[in-house]
Structure 1
Amino acid sequence: MSLSTVGYLARRAAQKERVRILYRRALRDTLNWAVHRHLFYQDASDLRERFEANKNVEDLDTIDHLIADAEAQYEKWRHPDPYIVPWAPGGTKFTRNPPPPSGIEIVYDYGKEENE
């Protein structure tokens, strides 16, 4: 393989990875905007069609331009208050019940008195 072929393949692999990451982020963000599942399915279908429309573009510079435009549009329309799973970091229940401070003993065998 020549050096130019290796460079071409490396650039294409990087572009494919950027597109995959962008699609997954956009799909997750679409779920934040949808109130009901049937609305999400329609929005997800529209998003997929937008990605599929440029599937067969072969020019590397055009692909880079399309990716940059899509990333800018994603940042522009990103949800301002995304859904976070409650028990995940940043969620409403994350560390709601923190562990007790050191030096405090919790006895879990209550009701079992020792016979002396």
Structure 2
Amino acid sequence: MKKLNISLSLIILLLIFTGCTEEYDEETIMKAKQTAESYLRNNYQDVESIELEEPYQSPMGSLSIDGTVNGAGFTIDLNEDFTVAMVGKKEGFPEHKDVCEEKDCDY
């Protein structure tokens, strides 16, 4: 009984510290990356280069992608329908296009 309690405790701790990550299929990864790139190119000024890392599940459960635009870092979160939920931008990230300031431009 004592070994069972210790084993269960270790499993629970392992899940807490490593998290339950979701692995995405190739179609989901491709669509997420296409959406992210299209959004960035259509909504921000002077986008010359975009580098995207592999999508992952954020702690809040959304699909997230880290990357750089013109060398400036960002994180983009996507909803289940692949619409953009938010973009977290680091210093040096391009400015919004004027026409996309109040409402996102199509992507």
Name the TM-score, length of structure 1 as normaliser.
0.33
TM-score under structure 2 normalisation?
0.35
| Bigger CA radius of gyration | 1
The structure where helix makes up a greater share of residues is 1
